[in-house]
Amino acid sequence: MRLTVTYNLAGVGRAAAAKATDIAFEQTLELAPDLVPSALANRVAGRVDSVTTLGRGRSAAVISFDPAIVCGDLPQLLNLLFGNISLKAGVLVADVRWPDELLRALGGPALGMAGVRDLTGVRGRPLLCTALKPLGLSAAELAERAHLFALAGIDLIKDDHSLVDQRTAPFEERVERCHDAVARANRVTGGNALYFPNVTGGPSALTDRAVFARRTGCRGVIVNALPAGLGALRPLGATGLAVMSHPSLAGAFFHRGHGIAPAVLLGDLFRVAGSDAVIYPNVGGRFTFSRATCVAINARLRRPLGPVAPAFPVPAGGIDASRVPHWIERYGADTIFLLGGSLYRQSDLARAAGRLVDAVRRHSDG
């Protein structure tokens, strides 16, 4: 099977067909068709399988590639799908169909949804996640919040994605204090809340931070996947840590007629790159995704995908305790709900978190 990509293009008819051929050559041989011997072109160029009209002056071109061109390498996958043609107008990666051979080479999440459930011990209900913030608090203050969230029964307590190694809460001190605060709370509750530090950094900082987190006893981390490079996720997962990916920068790709569709980038690419869970901006929050986009991301993260394990969708924002039943019904139990602002908006954080935990458990039991 070939790696089969649907590109939505500006143009119809012959113009669309010409654009499709251009993509097929630009992304592989990077020479015009008349400069390449036809035997070589047949072997290496993308193959335009179909071009159909979408209406409103746009077309869908289905182009398939030899998966061996990817070399099982994430950066090269991005380059093949959208590298040079990102610089042309009106090209959107709308869908990808994946050969098993390529999926096996890429690997996907090391733990997946089942592995994250094993870590937390939570079955049959959605997980609750919150963020330690804001930047500017000391490690001790962040740890205090972590303690309180864990006492209230939040399952996953993650660093805000902008906490790095700032002097106000240096990485190692923060990880030690927050991990300890959650462990202390677990001894009180008999629960199993987990603290996920943000390990984003350049290649060596990221590795050092992951090693430190693991040694401190953390079972998972968050990472700003695009700033760090999607190729960083799989090595991170290989350390045994659960990988929760944050969509920082992803909005650059999300234009109606240009880029990579959110469900493909966050639902497929973040997953095959090695995310066990993927955060995305939920409809109704302060970002711009539609309900259909959110549902499509959920479906992509969870769908059967050859040898690649399913990953947890992590809708963030637009959720509070009173709306929990609504969202559980919409998104189902295999979801991690990430609540930040709506908790912090309440004066008593502990009570707010407690109400939320109750709402989830009540609704999931019922």
Residues 86-115 that bind a copy of itself (CB under 8 A): 86-89
Q: For a copy of itself, which residue of 203, 240, 307, 332 counts as binding (CB under 8 A)? A: 203
| Cα–Cα distance for residue pair 18/42, rounded to 1 Å | 17
Other beta carbons within 10 angstroms of residue 366's beta carbon come to 7
252 makes contact with a copy of itself (CB under 8 A): yes
| Cα–Cα distance for residue pair 239/241, rounded to 1 Å | 6
User: Could you say which residues in the range 270-289 bind a copy of itself, by CB under 8 A?
Assistant: 281, 286-288
Q: Would strands 220-224 and 242-246 be described as parallel, antiparallel, or unpaired?
A: parallel
Paired residues of 29 in beta bridges: none
Nearest approach in angstroms of CB 6 to a copy of itself is 18
User: Could you say which residues in the range 208-247 bind a copy of itself, by CB under 8 A?
Assistant: 224, 226-232, 234-235, 247
Nearest approach in angstroms of CB 24 to a copy of itself is 12
User: Could you say which residues in the range 180-199 bind a copy of itself, by CB under 8 A?
Assistant: none
Nearest approach in angstroms of CB 12 to a copy of itself is 20
Residues 6+ positions from 161 with CB-CB distance below 8 Å: 131, 198, 200, 222, 224, 246, 248
Nearest approach in angstroms of CB 364 to a copy of itself is 28
For a copy of itself, which is the closer residue by CB, 51 or 85? 85
293 makes contact with a copy of itself (CB under 8 A): no
Q: Cα separations (Å) of 5 from 48, 64, 99, 133?
A: 10, 6, 11, 39
For a copy of itself, which is the closer residue by CB, 191 or 201? 201
| Cα–Cα distance for residue pair 160/240, rounded to 1 Å | 22
Token pair of 104 as six digits: 């096996």
Nearest approach in angstroms of CB 168 to a copy of itself is 8
261-265-267-268 Cα dihedral, nearest 10 degrees: 110
Per-residue interface string for the shown chain with a copy of itself, residues 49-88, x marking contact by CB under 8 A: -------------------xx-x-xxxx-xxx-xxxxxxx
Nearest approach in angstroms of CB 266 to a copy of itself is 11
For a copy of itself, which is the closer residue by CB, 78 or 119? 78
Farthest-apart Cα atoms in the chain, separation: 72
| Cα–Cα distance for residue pair 178/139, rounded to 1 Å | 8
Measured CA angle at 241 (ends 156, 201), to 5 deg: 95
For a copy of itself, which is the closer residue by CB, 202 or 332? 202
Q: How many residues bind a copy of itself (CB under 8 A)?
A: 82
φ/ψ of 148, rounded to 5, equals: -65, -40
Per-residue interface string for the shown chain with a copy of itself, residues 21-50, x marking contact by CB under 8 A: -----xxxxxxx--xx---x--xx------
For a copy of itself, which is the closer residue by CB, 235 or 325? 235
For a copy of itself, which is the closer residue by CB, 204 or 329? 204
User: Could you say which residues in the range 304-333 bind a copy of itself, by CB under 8 A?
Assistant: none
User: Could you say which residues in the range 131-170 bind a copy of itself, by CB under 8 A?
Assistant: 131, 133-137, 160-162, 164-168
| Site stretch for a copy of itself (CB under 8 A), options 200-208, 214-222, 303-311, 354-362 | 200-208
Q: Cα separations (Å) of 363 from 157, 327, 349?
A: 21, 10, 21
Nearest approach in angstroms of CB 261 to a copy of itself is 12
Q: Is the dihedral of CA 344, 348, 350, 352 positive or negative?
A: negative
